[in-house]
Amino acid sequence: MISLFPSSGFAIPAFARKYDLSCTSCHTKPPRLNAFGEAFHMAGFQIPMVREGETKKKRNIGRVWSETDFLNIFSFRANGNLVESFQGSNPDETNLTFPRDLEIYLAGTYTDEISYFIELDHEAGAVQGIPGGFFEEKSEFGIGKEFFLMVDLQPGLRTLFGASGETMTEMTHGKSGTGHVMFMGPMVMIGKIDPSTNFSYPTNRQFIPNVPGRVDSGIVERFGLTPYAFASKFFGVKTAEGDSVEVTREVFYNTPGDFGIDLHAMMGNLLVQAGAMQGLQSGSRDVNPKKDPYLMARLNFGQQSYTSGSLSGLIYWGNDTAMVDKNLVNWLRYGFSGNLKYKYLDLYSAVIWDVIRNLPAGISSPFDRTANGFTLEGDYLATDRLLLSIRYDQLNAGGFISEKADGKVIAAQARFYMRDNFSFYLRDSYNLEGVGTNALQNFRNFVALGIDFDL
Amino acid sequence: MRFKILETSLRWASILIFSLLFFSSVMASGQQDPGPMHDMRNMEEPVAADVATGRMIYRMTCIHCHGLKGRGDGAAAIFIGPYSHPRPNDFTAGIFKFRSTESGQLPMVKDLMRTIREGIPGVMPSFRNLGEKEIRQVALYISTEFIRQELPTKTTIEYVEHVGPYTYSVESARRGKELYTKLGCAACHGLDGRGTGITLQDVRGLHIMPVDLTRQETFGNGISHEDIYRTIMTGLDGTPMPGFSDQFKGHEENAWNLVHYILSLQGR
């Protein structure tokens, strides 16, 4: 049972090369960020306050940093399952998909205040909704989860407000009655973004990869496995364009990438984030003139005794981006997440509620307009090369009552790192609900052996 | 879906271009005159305002590894060397690897500044772009808040300037090799400088491997000729690497031969 799986995280070896650091300076193990990595990301892929800390390999043309070494901005990632095997009902499947996912990254800084992140991606066998309530599996190459510019607005704001010299320092750091308050940002991200990277449970930085679904003749035979807290959760919901939406598809704030604008800033231990997106992964098509606004706040704690953590709250308003039958509806999402890191233990969890609003009377069949999901993952670095992970997912689904079913899955994984950028993993996922006829509960017990490689 | 960009690509491109132009122009107009180089007078003397600014910078950049109280127990610290050396320094313990002072002594402020400025390859980034003024402020904060002892302002080690071409000669390398053998360097670094494969322990009991002298990228204390000279004389406190200033006392110029031998191992 081996397969190469799309692991939806990313490590950027280019940054390690650029700053002459090991991967674990920013990661517990790639792709999960440690506290320094989070600060690095928050500062626009730079060391906070340092502004292009390592410029030996760069050419400075005015205010533009020109890379002299392409490898300082280029990274490549391949992952997938050498063998995957599903058991528990007929017909059993054994697949070989290598590579499942290929990703190319270009990331770096353009000036002290402007950074960029470009991701191109090839994914094999992705399940996608199509009109008519049907789905298809297809392989794609194109823009990946993220493709954006990040701009630090602080220098511009300082200039606009005429701050300079010591006043700049005061404004940069702020002051409270009892002491200084550090202020970072505001940073704006424009383009295709995944703002969940700032959430306490960032779905693009988890160790247990998603399991793709399976489609047969346009019908989902088995839904994939994603962190259920962030899944769409509703049976029978479509996008505003009428494409079907997988009930386990990550959507909205934790979409695997959507076009929009995101603004975030950090004041002391509090991170505040606001933005607007197209919603339901509409790509670059402007199908949502109202846009979907969201707001997130995260409070960090710790920073000594090898401990750090955070608590986050999220609210997202899906504005006419979803459809039930042929009626556009609003979709309210809210939830919390938390993260605690202590030495080699890393726990992160999220619970998210979803409510379909303004559901019209007279839809084709009874519809449960509320749903929620819960996800808890724990990782433990047992040795410097062995990472053990376990994740529990629970989905209390909504949608058409005649179609819906709930899900509970527990997954365990052992990941062995040959090097920080090259790992094998063995994983097993077990369906606690028991195999049923519903495509959600037809998630059959699953074993995989995969490879994850970063250059 | 991913290449269906036609409908609104112009709109998004316009937003991007407008934003770039706007912020570039705003930031260009906001460029501050860096002014003259910060006055480095009395570099060792902490000034309250400098310490306060150093504290802010520390809490933005250093805290993640060195921790809130400077104990080297920041949330990211343990992953730099999982289950092994190196770990971020515990400033409160008063043991510093990178000094120009005698083994067992505290570093000078300029030593702290050098480490902050240069970083440690593979482990700690260079903070060169903070600026000398800010680097000094961070060093002063570390000194006053965590070390809490008066730092030496000079060293008793005699640093003899290098004479002659900045490369090794066959003769100097030969003399350096004799010193390498005589001083027992091969016990840890091996006869060929690549190490013996033994695993040692640092002062915290963490596993540490002797540096491979043929690979300059593993030199934590810097790779310049002067850096290697200083490392030989001071040692790396907290690790099994001793200082050899006593052995060279009165004949410090001979240490350059050992530097040359190490350079010859690297072919530079």
Q: Chain A window 350-409: which residues touch B at a Cβ cutoff of 8 Å?
A: 381, 383-384
pLDDT score, position A370:
96
**Strand partners for A106:** A74, A118
**Tens digit of each residue's pLDDT (9 = 90 or more) over A233-275:** 999 999 888 889 999 999 888 877 888 999 999 888 899 999 9
- Of the partner residues A20, A52, A303, the one whose CB lies closest to the CB of residue B67: A303
* CB-CB under 8 Å, B119 with A159: no
From first to last of its 268 residues, what are the pLDDT tens digits of chain B?
443 444 455 455 555 555 554 554 444 444 443 333 333 444 566 788 899 989 989 988 999 999 999 999 998 999 888 888 889 999 999 999 999 999 999 999 999 999 999 999 888 998 988 889 999 999 999 999 999 999 999 988 888 877 766 677 888 889 999 999 999 999 999 999 998 888 899 998 999 989 999 988 888 898 888 999 999 999 999 999 999 999 998 888 889 999 999 999 988 7
Over chain A, what is the mean pLDDT? 85
* Closest Cα in chain B, distance from residue A356 (Å): 25
Residue A68 pLDDT more than 90? no
- Tokens representing residue A176 in the block: 């409270």
* Closest Cα in chain B, distance from residue A439 (Å): 25
pLDDT score, position B35:
36
Strand A234-235 to A422-431 pairing: unpaired
- Of the partner residues A141, A160, A307, the one whose CB lies closest to the CB of residue B75: A307
pLDDT score, position B2:
41
Q: Residue A61 burial by CB count (10 A; 0-12/13-18/19+): exposed, middle or buried?
A: exposed
Indicate the pLDDT class of residue A352, thresholds 50, 70 and 90.
Answer: very high
Cβ pair A406, A395 in contact under 8 A:
yes
- In order of B101, B165, B166, B224, B257, the CA distances from B162 in angstroms are 19, 8, 8, 12, 10
Interface test with A, best of B60, B138, B217 (most A CBs within 10 A): B60
Indicate the pLDDT class of residue A8, thresholds 50, 70 and 90.
Answer: very low
* Closest Cα in chain A, distance from residue B178 (Å): 34
* Closest Cα in chain B, distance from residue A90 (Å): 33
Measured between CB atoms, does A344 come within 8 Å of chain B?
A: yes
- Of the partner residues B12, B76, B121, the one whose CB lies closest to the CB of residue A35: B76
Closest chain B CA to residue A149 = B16
**Tens digit of each residue's pLDDT (9 = 90 or more) over B49-87:** 899 989 989 988 999 999 999 999 998 999 888 888 889
pLDDT score, position A7:
37
Between A398 and A83, where is the model more confident?
A398
- In order of A304, A381, B77, B122, B162, the CA distances from B83 in angstroms are 18, 9, 11, 16, 40
φ, ψ of residue A42 in degrees (nearest 5):
-60, -35
The DSSP secondary-structure symbol of B120 reads B
CATH fold label, A109-443:
Porin (2.40.160)
- Of the partner residues B23, B69, B122, the one whose CB lies closest to the CB of residue A20: B122
- Of the partner residues B60, B76, B78, the one whose CB lies closest to the CB of residue A48: B60
* CB-CB under 8 Å, A113 with B83: no
Residues A87-112 have a mean pLDDT of 82
Domain ranges (residues) in chain A: 109-443
pLDDT score, position A181:
66
A18-32, A48-62, A259-273, B93-107: which range is least confident on average? Answer: A48-62
A178-192, A346-360, B135-149, B253-267: which range is least confident on average? Answer: A178-192
Give the rounded percent of residues in chain A with a pLDDT score beyond 70.
Answer: 89
Interface test with A, best of B2, B4, B91 (most A CBs within 10 A): B2
- Residue B150's contacts (CB-CB under 8 Å, 6 or more residues apart) are none
> Closest Cα partner for A343 from A14, A20, A130, A28?
A28
* CB-CB under 8 Å, A159 with B30: yes
Cβ pair B118, B126 in contact under 8 A:
yes
Q: Which helix (H) or strand (E) holds B175?
A: helix B170-182
Three-state SS annotation for chain A = CCCECCCCCCCCHHHHHHHCECHHHCEEECCEECHHHHHHHHCCCCCCCCCCCCCCCEEEECCEEEECCHHHCEEEEEEEEEEEEEECCCCCEEEEEEEEEEEEEEEEECCCCEEEEEEEEEEEEEEEEEECCEEEEEEEEEEEEEEEEEEECHHHHHHHCCCCHHHHHHHHHCECCCCECCEEEEEEEEEEECHHHHCCCCHHHCCCCCECCEEECCEEEECCECCHHHECCEECEEECCCEECCCCCECHHHCCCEEEEEEEEEECCEEEEEEEECCCCCCCCCCCCCCEEEEEEEEEEEEECCEEEEEEEEEEEEEEEEEECCEEEEEEEEEEEEEEEECCEEEEEEEEEEEEECCCCCCCCCEECEEEEEEEEEEEECCCCEEEEEEEEEEECEEECCCCCCEEEEEEEEEEEEECCEEEEEEEEEECCCCCCCCCCCCCEEEEEEEEEEC
- Of the partner residues A29, A286, A306, the one whose CB lies closest to the CB of residue B73: A306
The DSSP secondary-structure symbol of B124 reads B
pLDDT score, position A5:
34
* Closest Cα in chain B, distance from residue A437 (Å): 31
The DSSP secondary-structure symbol of B201 reads E
- Tokens representing residue B38 in the block: 């910060």
Cβ pair B130, B139 in contact under 8 A:
no
Structural domains of chain B in order of their starting residue, each with its CATH number: 48-147 (1.10.760.10), 170-266 (1.10.760.10)
Task: Please give the Cα distance from A371 to A381 (Å, whole number).
Answer: 34
pLDDT score, position A165:
43
Judging contacts by C-beta atoms under 8 Å, the chain A residues touching residue B27 are 63, 111, 113, 155-156, 159
Predicted complex ipTM: 0.83
CA A121 to chain CA mean position, Å: 15
Judging contacts by C-beta atoms under 8 Å, the chain B residues touching residue A49 are 57, 60-61, 130, 134
